[in-house]
Amino acid sequence: MTPRYIKRILFGLLIGSVTIISAQNNFGFAWKSQYTYALAPAAQAPSGITPVVSEPSAPGGAQKPDQAPPPLPEALSKRVAEYHIQVTLREDGKHLDGTQNVTWTNPGKKPVSELYFHLYPNAFQSPKTTFMTESGGKLRGDKATPAGQGHMELLSLQTESGASLLPRLQAIQPDDGNVHDFTLARLRLIEPVAPGESVTLKMGFEVKMPQVFARMGYYDDFVMAGQWFPKLAVYETAGTRGRVAEGWNVHQYHGNSEFYSDFGIYSVRISVPEAYTVAATGFQTKPAAAAENGYKSFQFYAEDVHDFAWAASPDFIYKEEAFSDKGVPGVRIKLYLDPAHADLSDRYMHAAKSALGSYAKWYGAYPYSTLSIVVPPAGAGGAGGMEYPTLVTAFSAEKTSPGYELERTVVHEIGHQYWYGMVASNEFEEAWLDEGFTSYAEDKVMEEAYGVSPNLRLEASYMTSPAPLKLASWEYSSHREYAENVYMRAKLVLLDIENKVGERMMAKVMRSYFQKYKFKHPTTGDFQRILENSTKAKWSDYFNQYIYGSQMADFSVELANTRSLSGQEKTMYESKVLIKRNGGVAGPIPIQFKFSDGTLISREWDGLDTHVQYTETSPYPLEWVMVDPQQANVLDNKLINNFMLAELPKETQIRWSLSAAKLVQGLLGLVGW
């Protein structure tokens, strides 16, 4: 998911300006994104991008059914769950009426007597739910409206033989004991499910959707159905994510958390008023069928996915193109555009192709036959910037002429097809494995396809509340702290690892991790093992500091002075410099000294101790000292302490006082607008 963030740009620029002017370095101008943490300078897309030959859209922009791809020789995942769902959108556009037959196969080695279901729409049932109390009724700047309440009601729950199980269903709150939260339920079965055996349940349910502000809901006649059906939790076998004993992984819906589900098969029939067009996970198996009651039905199918989402609107403008590349044997990219962005279809397509082509080349093949992109209307921003299997949402059509935030959002959400969709990390407990990896990959696509680079120095300066990356999402003190860490600091940690091992080795690590753990729900420890096996080195100390711990890599100049040495035939100066490590160990740290004759001397400190002192003797006094002059340390979040002017001998103090006055005058000129 893509976050929104209010940038404290002025303070960042002031810090940057001090360092720039003092050290005579240029950072460039920061480009500000409303939607992601990545900052980059505005750039023109480079010329010479190779066009991709595409199939024409359906005549008149009409949505056409997919041809089912040839069956795969074997399943890509364990396919623990199988859903057959029928859902109808009521004429009011606010309610869903659904039935589902869900089959669960026990993947473990022990009999299982309980099933757990996520009932996510109940997060909006009252202001007292866990999601609402933790989020304050807002997400990414979108706030719940008076129409923001919603719920899910299970109307029936039966065995295949018709025995009712509703009396056996119980809401539970394992994370916080909140008796007002009904987003998770436990079902005691009549008979245990033996290892390798299956159980099928028949369920009827009703959903009252909220006015969209947190991923799902309605806005006018637009509908985003995400997390909308009773969904089985994940039963983890021994060894999965480091488990010693098999069992259920169950959590409530929290203000920060996203989702974690098992892979399976979905066959879903969606009935909507006949004016509507539907976008959904998977592929459409046959043409939409009209009924006498003014409704029409869309049938979709998906396999080896762990969720199913759909969107509907009578206003969608539909565009479609075919795309193939190395690792993308053939995908139909489908755009469901709000009319306000109909003229931007080429930009959406280019972003989607750039992302799919790059991710497939770097990490591995995209195995699905479709990829849908939904553009919500203005006012439905809460539905935007979200990922689902084979379907992503762009941000809402608020701007008529968006900048690169349009491409960046599409690139980011398609990146989730890999780290959320196929690798399928547990976003309840280890969100950084999805959001951080996606943010890291997103930046690389934006640089390669559009020449847009992030301002890493400014991004690091936003890290005001470092916290461990491997925390449950609800254990962060606020949404801001959650987002700073699992998006931004996680990305910076991956970049720091890349700087240490080199781009080629990091590319090998990322590809190996994806290839080994796709469809397998890995954990942080699995990524660490891949890194250690690839680099033939131990990374425990590093992970303990920056991943399991909350360290940044701040180094500061604490002291810099120079004095004349007496009793010398020629005037000599002795300069003393004290450098301090304020955070984690970050490998060799370069230090640069500049003397009044323009001489530059470089030193390198291993950074293992808490501090180091240098003494330099020279015919000229020291002017300044700077830690990390090339700004290679991406985890340094306090650049203002990287530089210090030396305390000069009295004969040069007047000259330096004038220089300092000019520096202050220049800074005031920068902010005096």
Backbone angles phi, psi at 387, to 5 degrees: -115, 145
Q: Which two tokens stand for residue 143?
A: 């706030």
479 is in an annotated binding site: no
Catalytic annotation present for 116:
no
Q: Who contacts 154 (Cβ-Cβ below 8 Å, separation ≥6)?
A: 119, 166, 169, 203, 204, 205, 230
Catalytic residue among 413, 427, 498, 623: 413
DSSP for 25-86, written as a single string: ----PPP--SS-S------PPPS-PPP---PPPPGGG---PPPPPPPPSS-SS---EEEEEE
Give the strand order in the sheet containing 277-280.
217-219, 222-225, 310-313, 277-280
Which residue, 147, 144, 214, is CA-closest to 386?
214
Residue 211 CA to residue 149 CA, distance in Å, equals 7
What burial class does residue 625 get, using C-beta atoms within 10 Å of its C-beta: 0-12 exposed, 13-18 middle, 19+ buried? buried
> Is 416 marked as binding a ligand?
yes
Q: Are residues 313 and 377 in contact, defined by beta-carbon separation less than 8 angstroms?
A: yes
- Catalytic, 266? Answer no
Catalytic residue among 37, 440, 487, 517: 487
DSSP H helical segments within 60-214, as ranges?
130-135
Cross-strand partners of 671? none
Q: Is 168 helix (H, G, I), strand (E, B) or coil?
A: helix
What is the rounded CA–CA span in Å between residue 460 and residue 485? 11
If you search the block for the tokens 């003494």, which residue do you land on? 615
What is the distance, to the nearest Å, from the Cα of residue 154 to the centroid of all Cα atoms in its chain? 32
Whose structure tokens read 């979108």? 142
d(CA 641, CA 297): 63
Nearest C-alpha neighbor of 361 from the set 389, 327, 384, 386: 327
* Residue 412 is assigned to a ligand binding site: yes
Annotated binding site for Zn(2+): 412, 416, 435
Q: Which residues are catalytic?
A: 413, 487
Annotated binding site: 412, 416, 435
